[in-house]
């Protein structure tokens, strides 16, 4: 029987550990309790054990995953050296304006999984075995990591045991446990009851699960409990362990003799660390705990800071209404320019980017208010910075309102002002953000050469920031430089933790360059990271159909439908695959299901129209194509196909109208449309106009304006006209 991962349940840690030991041996066992080292309690312990071992044996393996490993556990630099240089890391904290969020943490967790799998492959002997206890008390970040590890790790290579008591788990982890683990229940063991140990409960950093010890702890006088917490905090503060600053130390200081002083300071230290790393859930928790220890009047600065950081961290968690509530509370409480300015900016961004429905007018009102308040700052350096910062916000609103030229003007003006009025070493991260925003606006405006120059300068300033490489690669693709685009994505993969969009985008470039196998490998990598992500699955299926591998595409699409239900895009491609396999009824059923799921799905309508036409029902095809035009607007290819179907149905006058409308649209197939229109004109007895269209086609071809057009058909039609034959074809359209 194939080995499986293990899920061990039991109320007491000692009982769970006994089952882990009996099921082992496990090479490494650790706790996940977030009260110890915060969001990455188990990961910190695990990587401190595994990375130095791997560094001694295979330094190339560690170098390959250096970014992910040091991002989560910076202390590993003592063993393996520093992380790659970063503009953000070299910027003073008070000037930092770029922060990472949950997406970055998830990608970093994938990077750690990659490292563990590669390490397990290189180790001699039996599979690497890892056990994680107290999973019910793990942070959301660590539960997410365990879900990824359970899903991606082959138990024959790396076997995982997750042990948990009572408590809710993340839905993703609960699903991974159901699918990939074997359940073992830890029965309560008979053991002598230990003497109640209140001090031991505190020294466990309040993670012990002995009810008697907890009862003894609660029975202590409040001042004795506080003294024990302060004693333990002082002991932990002497250790060079960043994780303790996020977990156990603030927990103890909150419960010590000075929660409003030492406790608040410890929480603020923890908050800054979590904000810098991007631990959004922990930031919300610490922010709310910190503000609870503040007097809003006498501790106004800390109260504002804890509240604002918690509010900002709610955005990547999708908790927008809670975020708005916190910002509005600050606006009611503090009539100071900086509070009103920063909250106006934050609310403007929420309304223009996140809240539904979007309200760009209200966003503009808030942003104008922020800009006016920024002008009140008397300090010349801060005043210039604040004003340019708000102008950058105005540029964002302008972009969402469709005024790209204004957005470009605001960012360009801001770049020039900072260069003119600020010392060169101040606010360097924000300068790079301004330049990045201008580069993106230039790309949207079609000013690709200028955008490319901006992205090149950004990469020179901060060569390990992945988005610059991705964005420049996209610009190179837009310029038709597929080799340059591919090189850009290769470099992005090298400097980044594994993000599925990186591999999806590189796969698209490879497909466009004709590298089918390379593209399929990239799409497969993206799906290995995130199988529920629809974009790479759709891209892979479409490429397989194009490569005449419809059976593989159909298997992929069915797997996607099992994950996503009646997804119209997947069903539409399934129809194409069925059609390619010679199963017209199955194809029609897939198109019908796609349109039942999304009646506005234009590709499903156009693809069903092709099938309907092939089955001998041109008027049925016309109906679907008419619906597609009503939904998607005038499209030259859809008009071409409807005209072709109308001509086949004996309606040359209506077909002529469609071909004429299509010719006036950008992107039209001029050669095909001129031929089709000439056929209709000939059938309607207008041979002179038909001949004019065909001569136009031949002139365009002769001038090199239709280099791919084949003049033979036009010459044949002209010959038919000269012989008095109207001409007509049964192919080339739908």
Residue range 603-645, pLDDT digits in tens: 999 999 999 999 999 999 999 999 999 999 999 999 999 999 9
pLDDT of residue 714: 56
CA–CA–CA angle 371, 376, 381 (5° rounding): 90
- pLDDT tens digits, 420-448: 999 999 999 999 999 999 999 999 999 99
Q: Pseudo-torsion of CA 519, 524, 527, 533, nearest 10°? A: 30
Query: What tens digit of pLDDT does each residue of 248-259 get?
Result: 999 999 999 999
Sign of CA dihedral 249, 252, 256, 258: positive
pLDDT of residue 732: 44
pLDDT at 354 over 50: yes
The total of other beta-carbon atoms located within 10 Å of residue 702's CB is 10
pLDDT 10s digits, 276-335: 899 999 999 999 999 999 999 999 999 999 999 999 999 999 999 999 999 999 999 999
Handedness of CA 88, 91, 93, 94 (dihedral sign): negative
d(CA 699, CA 53): 73
Closest CA to 256 of 225, 287, 285: 225
Q: Which is nearest to 267 in space by CA: 285, 250, 247, 281?
A: 250
Chain CA centroid to CA 462, Å: 21
Per the CB < 8 A criterion, the answer to whether 142 and 43 are in contact is: yes
The set of residues, in sequence order, having a beta carbon less than 8 Å from that of 671 and lying 6+ positions away, is 697, 700, 701, 706, 708, 709, 710, 714
- Please tell me the distance from the alpha carbon of residue 146 to that of residue 160, in angstroms, as a whole number: 9
**DSSP letter, residue 100:** -
Residue burial 126-144, b: 16+ Cβ < 10 Å; e: rest:
ebbbbbbbbbbbbbbbbbb
CB of 669 closer than 8 Å to CB of 637? yes
Identify the band that residue 90 occupies on the pLDDT scale cut at 50, 70 and 90. Answer: confident
Q: Is residue 388 over pLDDT 50?
A: yes
* CA separation, residue 727 to residues 462, 640, 680, 718, 721 (Å): 63, 18, 9, 9, 7
Alpha carbons within 13 A on the beta-carbon side of 574:
24
Coil/strand/helix, residue 130: strand
Q: Decide: 458 and 481 in contact? Cβ < 8 Å.
A: no
Residue 482: partners with Cβ closer than 8 Å, 6 or more residues away: 476, 509, 512, 513
pLDDT above 90 (res 697): no
Q: Is the peptide bond before 408 cis (omega within 30 degrees of 0)?
A: no
Contact 12, 207 (CB under 8 A): no
Inform me whether the pLDDT recorded for 716 exceeds 70: no
The chain-wide mean pLDDT, for the chain, equals: 93
pLDDT at 191 over 80: no
Q: Supply φ then ψ for residue 186, to 5 degrees.
A: -90, 110
CA dihedral 31, 33, 38, 39 (to 10 degrees): 80
Distance CA 140, CA 143 (A): 5
Once rounded to an integer, what is the mean pLDDT over residues 144-168? 96
Q: Is 0.85 surpassed by the pTM of this model?
A: yes
Give the tokens for residue 530.
Answer: 């995130």
Copy the structure tokens of residue 154.
């082959």
Q: Is 646 exposed, middle or buried (0-12, 13-18, 19+ CB in 10 A)?
A: buried
User: Which residues are within 8 A (CB) of 718 and not within 5 positions of it... i.e. 6 or more apart?
Assistant: 691, 694, 695
Cα dihedral sign, 251-255-260-261: negative
Q: Band the pLDDT of 1: cuts 50, 70, 90.
A: very low
What is the band of 91 on the pLDDT scale with cuts at 50, 70, 90?
Answer: confident
The residue that leads in pLDDT, 730 or 708, is 708
Which residue, 289, 294, 356, is CA-closest to 320? 356
705 vs 176, 377, 708, CA distance in Å? Answer: 57, 59, 9
Nearest CA to 290 out of 327, 261, 319, 256 is that of 261
- Average pLDDT of 32-60? 96
* Cα Rg of the chain (Å, integer): 32
Residue 711 has what pLDDT? 65
Task: Using the predicted structure, report yes or no on whether residue 408 has a pLDDT greater than 90.
Answer: yes
């Amino acid at each position: 029987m194939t080995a499986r991962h293990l899920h061990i349940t039991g109320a007491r840690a000692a009982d769970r550990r006994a089952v882990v030991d009996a099921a082992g041996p496990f090479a490494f066992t650790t706790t996940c309790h977030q009260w110890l080292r915060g969001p990455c309690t188990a990961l910190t312990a695990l990587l401190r054990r595994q990375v130095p071992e791997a560094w001694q044996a295979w330094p190339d393996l560690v170098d390959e995953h250096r970014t992910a490993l040091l991002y989560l556990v910076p202390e590993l630099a003592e063993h393996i050296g520093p992380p790659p240089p970063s503009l953000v890391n070299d910027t003073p904290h008070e000037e930092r304006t770029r922060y990472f969020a949950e997406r970055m943490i998830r990608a970093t967790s994938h990077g750690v999984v990659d490292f563990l799998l590669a390490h397990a492959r290189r180790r001699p002997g039996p599979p690497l075995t890892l056990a994680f206890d107290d999973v019910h008390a793990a942070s959301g970040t660590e539960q997410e990591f365990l879900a990824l590890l359970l899903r991606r790790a082959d138990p024959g290579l790396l076997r995982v045991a997750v042990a948990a008591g009572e408590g809710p788990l993340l839905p993703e982890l609960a699903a991974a446990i159901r699918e990939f683990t074997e359940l073992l229940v830890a029965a309560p063991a008979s053991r002598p009851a230990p003497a109640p140990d209140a001090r031991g409960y505190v020294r466990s950093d309040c993670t012990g699960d002995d009810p008697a010890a907890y009862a003894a702890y609660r029975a202590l006088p409040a001042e004795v409990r506080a003294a024990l917490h302060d004693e333990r905090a002082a002991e932990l503060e002497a250790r060079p362990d960043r994780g303790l600053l996020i977990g156990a130390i603030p927990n103890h200081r909150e419960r010590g003799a000075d929660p409003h002083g030492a406790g608040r300071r410890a929480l603020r230290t923890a908050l800054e660390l979590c904000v810098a790393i991007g631990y959004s859930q922990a930031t919300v928790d610490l922010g709310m705990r910190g503000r609870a220890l503040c007097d809003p009047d006498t501790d106004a600065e800390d109260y504002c800071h804890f509240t604002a950081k918690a509010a900002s961290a709610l955005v990547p968690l999708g908790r927008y209404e809670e975020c708005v509530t916190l910002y509005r509370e600050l606006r009611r409480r503090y009539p100071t320019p900086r509070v009103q300015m920063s909250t106006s900016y934050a609310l403007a961004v929420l309304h223009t980017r996140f809240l539904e429905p979007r309200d760009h007018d209200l966003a503009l009102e808030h942003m104008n208010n922020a800009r006016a308040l920024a002008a009140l700052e008397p300090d010349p350096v801060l005043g210039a910075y604040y004003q340019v910062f708000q102008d950058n916000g105005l540029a964002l609103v302008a972009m969402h309102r469709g005024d790209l030229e204004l957005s470009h003007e605001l960012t360009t003006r801001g770049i020039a002002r900072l260069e003119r009025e600020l010392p060169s070493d101040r606010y360097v991260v924000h300068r790079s953000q301004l330049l990045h925003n201008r580069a993106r606006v230039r790309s949207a405006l079609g000013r690709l050469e200028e955008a490319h120059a901006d992205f090149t300068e950004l990469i020179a300033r901060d060569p390990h920031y992945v988005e610059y490489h991705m964005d420049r690669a996209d610009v190179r693709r837009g310029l038709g430089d597929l080799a340059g685009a591919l090189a850009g994505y290769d470099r992005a993969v090298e400097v980044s933790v594994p993000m599925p969009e990186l591999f999806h985008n590189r796969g698209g470039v490879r497909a466009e360059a004709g590298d089918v196998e390379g593209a399929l490998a990239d799409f497969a990598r993206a799906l290995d990271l995130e199988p529920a992500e629809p974009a790479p699955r759709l891209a892979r299926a479409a490429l397989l159909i194009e490569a005449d591998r419809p059976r593989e595409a159909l298997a992929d699409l069915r797997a996607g439908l099992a994950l996503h239900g009646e997804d119209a895009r997947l069903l539409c491609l399934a129809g194409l695959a069925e059609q390619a396999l010679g199963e017209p009824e199955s194809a029609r059923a897939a198109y019908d299901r796609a349109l039942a799921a999304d009646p506005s799905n234009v590709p499903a309508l156009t693809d069903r129209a092709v099938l309907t036409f092939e089955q001998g029902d041109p008027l049925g095809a016309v109906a679907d194509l008419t619906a597609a035009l009503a939904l998607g607007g005038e499209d030259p290819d859809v008009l071409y196909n409807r005209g072709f179907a109308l001509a086949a149905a004996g309606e040359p006058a209506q077909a002529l109208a469609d071909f004429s409308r299509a010719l006036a649209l950008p992107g039209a197939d001029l050669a095909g449309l001129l031929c089709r229109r000439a056929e209709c004109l000939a059938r309607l007895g207008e041979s002179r106009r038909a001949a004019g269209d065909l001569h136009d086609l031949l002139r365009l071809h002769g001038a090199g304006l239709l280099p791919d057009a084949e003049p033979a058909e036009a010459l044949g039609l002209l010959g038919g006209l000269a012989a008095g034959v109207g001409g007509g074809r049964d192919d080339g359209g739908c």
